[in-house]
Structure 1
Amino acid sequence: MEVSGGLFTILSVGLGTLLALLLGLLLIYWYVRDITQKQHTILRNFPIIGRLRYFFEQLGEYFRQYFFLGDRDEMPFDRSTRSWVYRLAKNEGGTIGFGSTYRLQEPGALIFVNAPFPVLEEDRLPTPPLLIGAGHCDKPFEARSIINVSGMSFGAISAPAVRALSHGAATAGCWMDTGEGGLSPHHLDGGCDVIMQIGTAKYGVREADGKLSLDKLRELAAHDTVRAFEIKLAQGAKPGKGGVLPGGKVTEEIARIRGIPVHVDSISPNRHPEIANADQLLDFVLRVRDITGKPVGIKTAIGGWQFMNELCDATLRRGLHDAPDFIVIDGGEGGSGAAPQALADHVALSINEALPRVVDSLLAAGMRDRVKVVASGKLVTSARAAWALACGADFVNSARGFMFALGCIQALRCHTNTCPTGVTTHNERLQRGLVVEDKATRVANYATNMNREIDMIAHSCGLRHAREFRREHVRIVQPSGRSEALSTIYPYPRPTEG
């Protein structure tokens, strides 16, 4: 026993000495490397110790998120909002105790005008579905849910995330937008209603030269669950910039679906080459509608009033049949898997201003009944969705709300292929944590509970269902601290005569 103990002591001392020697050599290597490199001033002046600066800089956002920022302070979504979505997705209800932390006196705060005599249970009506494209295409689409899954490309998000969204959307009865990455088998996996987006690169429906493939368009339209097509002009996070998928995320499967080289950055043109004005846009809408027989809409961000004025004028000149069947308005606060910060921060109007202006343009042109309106841009709570309906939207699309339902923790790593929750990464080890069956249930819960809470707000306002919302049912807090009716801020326009 004494011999064994002595041998153990010698080995321990020897191992400790070896580790100390290796650590010393490593520190010497770092010291020499830091003091001789010419890229970082801090490391050159303070070798080894200066590395702590970059270490804490990387960890700073996580410390702020969990320890220092208040429930209503964080961006792009504060902790209170994320917790609200998580509870809806887990079917835990939106009930809180003691009192709200929502700042009612803050400029922009939403206040719904409650009725003195709210609608009784027996007088409530189910929110009716709407028919998109009726009378203008062979196969109009009956859209049942107010809340729907916004465009998230397979590529920007992972295969298990797409499958979970597909199954959850099918259960909830809402549609799922493919995003501009094309239609994948994962979108079809759950059997939900699908809106196929045609982006500027025409992924999934492109010829080798990047032009629209009529044969591939017909092939996609043959799928019964592909209910409509959406021509993407711009998205709120990066107007004037096409989609960006880093080469590290372009797997063989994604490359095959998109029709592009593998492991090469997938960068879309900043617009459709064949669409340079309103008439060419309407020509493209008609072309896709005639080939597919299904409703065709457009998605865009709004920077001013010229686009809608030109679109309405061109449509009235040509006839209402030529109008897009729906318009998706994406606010400047919309998200993206990857976007230049200059565009994300400073280009395109917020949904708060863009949505009512677009609706006003359609009302003034007498086109509101013809064109359905879909709102998108940080509308992840039932209150924000109800506001959009009051502004005049027919439907609400959400991407990040459904990402939270999938388990997203707002790590802000969507573009790096290192998403810790498996939502936006193609790393199979990280994807393993995203269990499709469990997350599909959460997706369905989120959509169902969002629709239910929107109806609850409507009933509180004395409305039988959510499609009865009007602008007078919402008040917006002004910088003075006083609230003003939305119908006063954006009065309904009168239809243009003639």
Structure 2
Amino acid sequence: MDNSLEILDHHYIVLLTTALQILASLLVVGIGIALVSVVVMYVVDKNQTTHTIRRNYPVIGRFRYLFEHIGEFFRQYFFASDREEMPFNRAQRAWVYRAAKNVDRTVAFGSTKPIKERGSILFLNSPFPTLDGEAKPVDRVLIGPDCEHPYLPGSPFNISGMSYGALSAPAIIALSKGAKAVNCWYNTGEGGLSDYHLKGGCDLVFQIGTAKYGVRDEQGQLCDEHLREVAAHEQVKMFEIKLSQGAKPGKGGILPGNKVTEEISRIRLIPAGEDSISPNRHPDISNANDLLDMIQRIRSVTGKPVGIKFVLGSSEWLKELCQEIHKRGEASAPDFMTIDSCDGGTGAAPMALMDDVGLPLRESLPLVHNTLLEQGLRDRIKINCSGKLINPTDVAWALCMGADFVSSARGFMLALGCIQALQCNKNTCPTGITTHNKKLQRGLVPRDKAKRVASYHNNLIHDLELISHSCGVTEPRQLRRHHAHQVSDNGRSVSLSELYPYPEQINERRVSSSF
């Protein structure tokens, strides 16, 4: 009996030992498979060109998409809602991402937009919306008809100023190629004309900042010879004199010497390795006369339309400008005005200026439009506007308020893959858009991102047309203020035409109130 127990115990020990050996072998095989899988994922992620985060952060980057996926289920309990984040909330960014990827943009169950919140825009649908067969392509608006080389832009929605230096070379190439694919313009920003802007073959607007990068002489003054060199590029369609921008009105930039490489030196026409300080305004423009002189000089040298960009603060200078235009003749007027909002963006700016200086576009756009109407110059001067206009409703609102064109920088950055990491000024942008770190830039593949830029543009125009057709007009530029309401403090909506009346409405009210 004892021998039988010993034999049985021996068998148990053998079986247990064998089981443990099998488990150990399976564990080793499992670890091996896991390691091989990690290696395979690393190689796949490092070499794929679709997802920037995975390309820059192989394997680990996959967790972002997992958390993003499960986040929608936990967000309502632990995280901010879709409409709470700044400067762009999750709902706004999600629409851009879906539009850029050309995937389904519909939503289910119900809207999460707080429609009773002060400032919300509600478009007024017509009982007889425009049929598909009645719809027309978006009207094209000619800029600078009296110039030697007038410009007829192909789209109402364009890419706002982004310089090489602020953005990486791959990002600018992707934007340039995407703009070419959809026939919209790309503003070079104040950093000069780089080979990367030209590489995609798109239409370009050359911006002249206070330092006059790319068109300056050795003393930093505007140089006619360099102006002609820039204008000789057929892709350069217009010139824009930047008086100010929404993120830092009245503030010039500082480019540290360690960022002034030989390439930047060649593009901006500044000494390599030396700090470059942009004045807080154009030293040679101190009044309306100087501004019109500068516009005329650039227009005569280049033969191309010339406009101005500003964020509106004080508005008296606009009336003075219009009065001076009337003295000289309408031909002296700027061909376009780009109105930036005080909540515009930039790579880096003092918080005091970014938060608290300048007027928002909701006030400045109707004010400028009405001023030009009153002065009889609205047909002569076209209006472009920018500042957080990244979704179809934003663009539709701007057209209602009188804009001819809308430009966006951050919308197209999101289309490139920006995740709003707020590291634009740190050279650590994880998506390779605002960094000059070659390892991080590697994640941004211009060929693929250009397609997303184009898809974002086309889907925004498509949804813009949906809104306009719902309102009963045949194309978006027919939208007017009476086509939308804005929610007021008491939760009730009021027509934009009442909140921001046209000059003739104001005059009618003055006449009626005098009786």
TM-score scaled by length of structure 2: 0.82
In 2, Cα distance between the equivalents of 1:360 and 1:394? 14
**C-alpha distance in structure 1 between counterparts of 2:104 and 2:318, whole Å:** 40
1:139 and 2:154 correspond: no
Q: Which amino acid aligns with 1:159?
A: A
User: In the alignment, which of 106, 123, 126 is matched to residue 134 of structure 2?
Assistant: 123
Residue 103 of structure 2 is aligned to residue 92 of structure 1: yes
The CA deviation string for residues 165-212 of structure 1, in whole angstroms up to 9 with x for no partner, is 000000011000000000001000011000000000000001111001
Paired residue for 1:335, among 338, 341, 345? 345
- Aligned-partner residue type, residue 490 of structure 1: Y
Please show how residues 220-231 of structure 1 align to structure 2 within 5 Å. Answer: 220-231=230-241
Q: TM-score normalized by structure 1?
A: 0.85
- Specify the SS of the correspondent of 1:373: strand
Report if aligned partners of 1:364, 1:495 keep a CA contact under 8 Å in 2: no
Q: Structure 2 CA distance, aligned partners of 1:492 and 1:255?
A: 48
Tell me the distance in 1 between the aligned counterparts of 2:387 and 2:77.
25
Question: Do the aligned partners of residues 111 and 71 (structure 1) sit closer, same or farther apart at CA in structure 2, a change above 3 Å counting?
Answer: same
Q: Is the 8 A contact 1:245 1:338 kept in 2?
A: no
Cα deviation 1:121-155 (Å, max 9, x = unaligned): 11111112111000x21000011111100001111
Counterpart position of 2:484: 474
**2:114 aligned residue (79, 103, 108):** 103
Structure 2: distance between partners of 1:437 and 1:372: 33
Q: 1:224 to 1:411 in 2, by over 3 A?
A: same
**8 Å CA contact 1:249, 1:425 repeated in 2:** no
Tell me by how many angstroms 1:259 deviates: 1.7
Measure, in 1, the Cα distance between the counterparts of 2:162 and 2:304: 21
| 2:402 maps to 1:388 | no
Q: Distance in 2 between matches of 1:250 and 1:82?
A: 33
Select 2:89's aligned residue among 78, 81, 103: 78
Inter-partner Cα distance in structure 1 for 2:328 and 2:243: 21
Deviates more, 1:199-208 or 1:306-315: 306-315
**Following the alignment from structure 1 to structure 2, what is the Cα–Cα distance between the partners of residues 495 and 295?**
32
Offset of residue 111 of structure 1: 0.2
1:13-58 C-alpha deviation (Å, 9 max, x unpaired): xxxxxxxxxxxxxxxxxxxxxxxxxxxxxxxxxxxxxxxxxxxxxx
Whole-Å separation in 2 of the counterparts to 1:495 and 1:216? 47
**Distance change in 2, residues 1:494/1:311 (3 Å):** farther
Structure 1 residue corresponding to 2:443, chosen from 418, 433, 436: 433
Q: State the match for 2:304 in structure 1.
A: 294
Note closer, same or farther for the CA distance 1:496–1:316 as it changes in structure 2 (3 Å cut). Answer: farther
Percent identity for Structure 1 against Structure 2: 57
2:357 alignment partner in structure 1:
347
Q: Name the SS of the counterpart of 1:111 in structure 2.
A: strand
Higher CA-based Rg: 2
| d(CA) in 2 for partners of 1:167, 1:116 | 41
What residue in structure 2 maps to residue 53 of structure 1? Answer: none
Does the 8 Å contact 1:155/1:245 carry over to 2?
Answer: no
Q: State the secondary structure of the residue aligned to 1:253.
A: helix
Deviation digits for residues 210-266 of structure 1 (CA, Å, limit 9, x no counterpart): 001111100110111100000000000000001344555433312221122345444
Q: Paired residue for 2:165? A: 155
Q: Which residue of structure 2 aligns with residue 372 of structure 1?
A: 382
Task: Identify the match of residue 167 of structure 1 among 159, 172, 177.
Answer: 177
Q: Write the distance in 2 (CA, Å) between the matches of 1:404 and 1:90.
A: 11
Partner of 1:39: none
SS at match of 2:142: strand
Provide the secondary structure at the position in 2 that maps to 1:413: coil
- Call closer, same or farther: CA 1:424–1:66 in 2, change over 3 Å: farther
Kept in 2: contact 1:244–1:266 (CA 8 A)? yes
Q: Which residue, out of 300, 305, 309, partners 2:319?
A: 309
Q: 1:68 aligns with which of 56, 60, 79?
A: 79
Contact 1:248 1:417 in 2 (8 A): no
Contact 1:326–1:371 (8 Å) recurs in 2: yes
The code of the aligned residue for 2:162 comes to M
Query: Aligned partners of 1:217 and 1:198: how far apart in 2?
Result: 10
Q: Paired residue for 2:473?
A: 463
Cα distance between partner residues in 2 of 1:167 and 1:335: 23
Instruction: Evaluate the alpha carbon distance shift between residue 467 and residue 112 of structure 1 in structure 2; reply closer, same or farther with a 3 A threshold.
Output: same
Secondary structure of the residue aligned to 2:152 is strand
3-state SS, counterpart of residue 195 of structure 1: strand
**Separation in 2 of the partners of 1:294 and 1:149?**
19
Which residue, out of 275, 278, 291, partners 2:285? 275
Whether contact under 8 Å (1:249, 1:426) holds in the other structure is no
> What is the CA deviation profile of residues 427-473 of structure 1, one whole-angstrom value per residue up to 9, with x for unaligned ones?
10000000000100000111111111111100000000001010001
**Distance of aligned partners of 1:248 and 1:118 in 2 relative to their CA distance in 1, 3 Å threshold:** farther
Q: Measured at CA, do residues 457 and 395 of structure 1 come closer, stay the same or move farther in structure 2, by a change above 3 Å?
A: same
Separation of aligned partners in 2, 1:67 and 1:328 = 41
Q: Residues of 2 paired with 1:307 and 1:116: CA distance?
A: 43
> How far did 1:304 drift?
2.8
Q: Does the aligned pair in 2 maintain the 1:363–1:495 contact within 8 Å?
A: no
Partners of 1:334 and 1:65 lie apart in 2 by 29
What's the counterpart of residue 242 of structure 2? 232
Measure, in 2, the Cα distance between the counterparts of 1:270 and 1:339: 13
Change (3 A) 1:426 1:247: farther
Q: Which amino acid aligns with 2:488?
A: Q
What SS is found at the alignment partner of 1:271?
coil
Change beyond 3 A, Cα 1:487–1:237 = same
Q: Which residue of 2 aligns with 1:5?
A: none
C-alpha deviation, 1:496, in angstroms: 12
CA contact (8 A) 1:366 1:496 kept: no
Matched residue type, 1:410: Q
2:427 maps to which of 417, 423, 444: 417
1:245, 1:441 → 2: CA distance? 32
Is 2:192 aligned against 1:192?
no
Residues 485 and 281 (structure 1), Cα distance of their counterparts in 2 relative to 1, 3 Å cut: same
Report the counterpart of residue 8 of structure 2 in structure 1. none
Whichever residue aligns with residue 473 of structure 1, its letter is H
Once the two structures are superposed, residues 54-81 of structure 1 have per-residue CA deviations (whole angstroms, 9 ceiling, x without a partner) of xxxxxxxxxx999622111111111110
Provide the alpha-carbon RMSD of the alignment: 1.9
1:482-497 equivalences under 5 Å are 482-494=492-504
Count residues with an aligned counterpart.
434
